[in-house]
Amino acid sequence: MPALDQDRAAGDRTHPGREHGERGDGTPVDRAEPRGREPRRRPRPLRALVLDTDGVLLDSAGLHAKAWKTALDACLEAVAGGEQPPFDADAEYRRFVDGRPRYDGAAAFLAARGLGLPAGTPRDPPGCATVWAVAACKEQAFLDLLRTEGVPAFDDAGTALAALRTAGVPCAAVSASRHARALIRAAGLSGLLTVVVDGEDAARLGLAGKPDPALFLRAALLLGSRPQETAVAEDALAGVEAARRGGFGLVAGVDRTPVRRAAAPLREQGADLVVPDLTTLVRSVWGERG
């Protein structure tokens, strides 16, 4: 979920509307790919799909953004004395914290604002004295919101996962959040996923967070699929970068924003195609089976 904490910087370039077609070998292509970047060829059919959890399967990104705003605005007030503008829960959320582990997101934002807090330790209580304390403050705010608002699955998630299961395409959910398994189970998606790799696994195995591809590579390994035979669905820039670095066969950006404002940044980060939902992804990549 956007317990998944994950993020990006919007570019200035705009792109024409997407129009899907096929390459000469029959593989789908996003006709709105940036000029100057040669589309990557990939095996067809792709054997498996790895999906980010927050913002792709679960409608949790908004909850994460609100929690980050609570924590970071409090930090800006305490450390900068109100002399800096508040945290932008849209642009700065996507650029610095979306898709990243909490500590990494807090550190990236504070560094961008020129606030050099000491690292502290993972045992630091919520507060503003250390980076770990800010991360703990975000976690506390998120849990408070979770209790009052909950996190639903996107309407298309179950339908798309069921279609892929029928087509024999195994799926994995990946999240940096330690809450991911419980949230996926509560959303009724557990039975449609072959594998879940979450923050508990990352801590136990020492897996680095995005933009490192370690979580995605672990998921592909558990699915029994090589990265080049596996697609990744991501809504975060850090996640798209991780999938590209991991050598995955298809990197699909999922832009669920109302006016598709994330599409251009996702393409610029390296997404092979950008889709508005998972149903479109399944139909574009796996054809009539989706």
Indicate the pLDDT class of residue 45, thresholds 50, 70 and 90: confident
Residue 5 appears among annotated catalytic residues: no
Indicate the pLDDT class of residue 186, thresholds 50, 70 and 90: confident
Q: Are 177 and 197 in contact (CB under 8 A)?
A: no
Q: For 108-147, how does the pLDDT look when each residue is reduced to its tens digit (9 = 90+)?
A: 999 999 998 999 999 999 999 999 999 999 999 998 988 8
Q: For 78-107, how does the pLDDT look when each residue is reduced to its tens digit (9 = 90+)?
A: 998 878 999 999 899 989 998 788 999 999
Q: For 148-165, how does the pLDDT look when each residue is reduced to its tens digit (9 = 90+)?
A: 887 899 999 999 999 999
Q: Residue 162: how many CB atoms within 10 A of its CB?
A: 15
Query: Which amino acid is present at 69?
Result: K
Q: Which of 30, 54, 124, 255 is catalytic?
A: 54
Residue 52 appears among annotated catalytic residues: yes
Q: For 9-27, how does the pLDDT look when each residue is reduced to its tens digit (9 = 90+)?
A: 333 333 333 333 333 333 3
DSSP-H helix ranges across the chain: 61-80, 91-92, 102-112, 131-149, 155-166, 180-186, 199-205, 214-223, 237-245, 263-269, 278-286
> What CA–CA distance (Å, rounded) separates 13 from 289?
35
Q: For 225-278, how does the pLDDT look when each residue is reduced to its tens digit (9 = 90+)?
A: 999 999 999 999 999 999 999 999 999 999 998 888 899 999 999 999 999 999
Residue 289 has pLDDT above 90, yes or no: no
Mode of pairing for the β-strands spanning 20-22 and 28-30: antiparallel
Closest residue by Cα to residue 213 from 250, 253, 247, 252: 247
Closest residue by Cα to residue 112 from 88, 128, 133: 88
Q: What value does the CA radius of gyration of the chain take, rounded to a whole number of Å? A: 18
pLDDT of residue 98: 86
Indicate the pLDDT class of residue 290, thresholds 50, 70 and 90: very low
Q: Are 290 and 282 in contact (CB under 8 A)?
A: yes
Average pLDDT over residues 278-282: 97
Compute CA 239 distance to the chain's CA centroid, rounded to the nearest angstrom.
Answer: 5
Average pLDDT over residues 216-228: 98
pLDDT of residue 15: 32
- b/e map 31-68, b = 16+ CB within 10 Å: ebbeeeeeeeebebbbbbbbbbbbbbbbbbbbbbbbbb
Is the pTM higher than 0.85? The answer reads no
> What CA–CA distance (Å, rounded) separates 261 from 249?
25
Indicate the pLDDT class of residue 40, thresholds 50, 70 and 90: low
> What CA–CA distance (Å, rounded) separates 245 from 236?
14
Q: Which of 52, 98, 124, 156 is catalytic?
A: 52
pLDDT of residue 288: 53
pLDDT of residue 35: 31
